Amino acid sequence: MRKKTVRKRSIVVRKSKKKAPVFSGKLVRFSIITFLILLILGIGYHYRNGLAYYFSFKSNKILSEATEAKRISDVRNFQVLEKHEGKSIGLDVSEYQGKIHWSYVDTLEKKYPLDFVFIRATVGKDRKDRQFNRNWLGAKENKMIRGAYHYYRPNENSLEQAALFIKTVTLRKGDLPPILDIERLPKNQSLDSLKVGLKRWLKAVESHYGVKPIIYTGEKYYDDFLKEEFSNYLFWIANYNFYREEIEDDWLFWQFTEKASIPGIKGNVDVNIYNGDLQQLQYITVE
């Protein structure tokens, strides 16, 4: 009797295909591109007024990379100025602006009158700004409210610096109070010693002119080193960042750009906003 051969069926195990992850590479790239497009559109919408203004009035110029960067800055400047309608606008200058033709210094963007100017007078304990006399007289003849500032060097004697400023600057009725410009940290002394020096300069200058000086500095420097200990002084704050569009309530002046174009001045100029109108600005001048 022949035996039957029983063939065993081979069982084929089929591997199930893995489902593609929800966040595949293509989807991630698509999400990133979509986000960037929305971000650009959002920025464009936010700055629509400034963009419209500059593309309508300046689009006929051939743009270099430098000009294009300048235009981006101009768009922000216009946006900031638009948000501060009614505030008094001014500039600050030094020898770096060369010889200024003061009779042409009148408006910013042919729209915003320039009411005041801060003029650098002295640097450290032994240097007078080379254009101070010319600028000081020119601003007065141009009927601008003027103020003089001293660039403070942390590693030099504070009283000698105050003496140089007092010797150089004569304030008249209608001028702004004296200004102390502090931007750097000391190399050879402690922060406490720096603050002592600043207070000595401020007291010496106040004693001479009979008016409390204003302090100029950057926003971070102000927040980190000066805000609490010098809270009895008024501040002129510099911040050019794109995100900053409005002046803070506790700032007397805001230097919001270093890249403005002003008639009568070659190159870029710093522009400032006073936290009030022209009448309020006149109220804080020397009597």
Give 162's contacts (C-beta < 8 A, 6+ positions apart): 150, 200, 201, 204, 205
| Burial grade of 228 (CB within 10 A; 0-12, 13-18, 19 or more) | exposed
Catalytic residue among 126, 141, 183, 258: 183
Coil, helix or strand at residue 146: strand
Coil, helix or strand at residue 55: helix
**Which H, E and C letters describe 158-175, residue by residue?**
HHHHHHHHHHHCCCCCCC
Catalytic residue among 92, 115, 175, 181: 92
| Contact call for residues 150 and 122 (beta carbons, < 8 A) | yes
- Residue 92 is among the residues annotated as catalytic for this protein: yes
The neighbour count for residue 146, using CB atoms within 10 Å, is 23
Q: What secondary structure letter does DSSP report for 223?
A: I
Report CA-CA distances (Å) from 93 to 38, 101, 102, 186. 40, 12, 12, 25
Q: Which helix (H) or strand (E) holds 145?
A: strand 145-151
C-alpha–C-alpha distance, residues 107 and 177, integer Å = 23
| Contact call for residues 165 and 136 (beta carbons, < 8 A) | no
| Burial grade of 161 (CB within 10 A; 0-12, 13-18, 19 or more) | buried
- Residue 74 is among the residues annotated as catalytic for this protein: no
Catalytic residue ranges: 92, 183
